[in-house]
Amino acid sequence: MNFSASPNDSTSTRIYKVYPRRFAILIIFCLCSLANGFQWIEYVIIQNIIVRYYNASLPTNYDSKNNAVTWTSLSYMVRKYFIDFDWEKNKITVYGN
């Protein structure tokens, strides 16, 4: 996208150059985010294995153990969406983008 204007014009616009490398980095970032998202989803799938592994540090009731594992997985989702949203909100407020 190229916009050109004279340098003395007060309504001049920026000239943007699109590099193919940016799209490659964007694809890598999206794949990493997708893989990270699968980790917390799959955490509940292997719930029984996690309960057996961390048996000593979990509550004594079996349902409480399963709830502890479920809430650990859920806490990642809450952190992901609320803290990342807050970061984006602050970025827009500070930088005005």
Instruction: Check residue 8 and give its pLDDT.
Output: 55
| Domain residue limits, the chain | 39-95
Q: Considering the entire predicted model, what is its pTM? A: 0.46
Q: Which amino acid is at 40?
A: W
Instruction: Check residue 84 and give its pLDDT.
Output: 66
As averages over each run of 10 residues, the pLDDT of the chain (97 residues) reads 51 82 90 79 80 81 83 77 65 58
Q: Which tokens is 59 given?
A: 């509550």
- Would you state the torsion angle of the CA atoms of residues 3, 6, 8, 11, taken in this order, to the nearest 10 degrees? -30
Instruction: Check residue 24 and give its pLDDT.
Output: 92
Instruction: Check residue 28 and give its pLDDT.
Output: 92
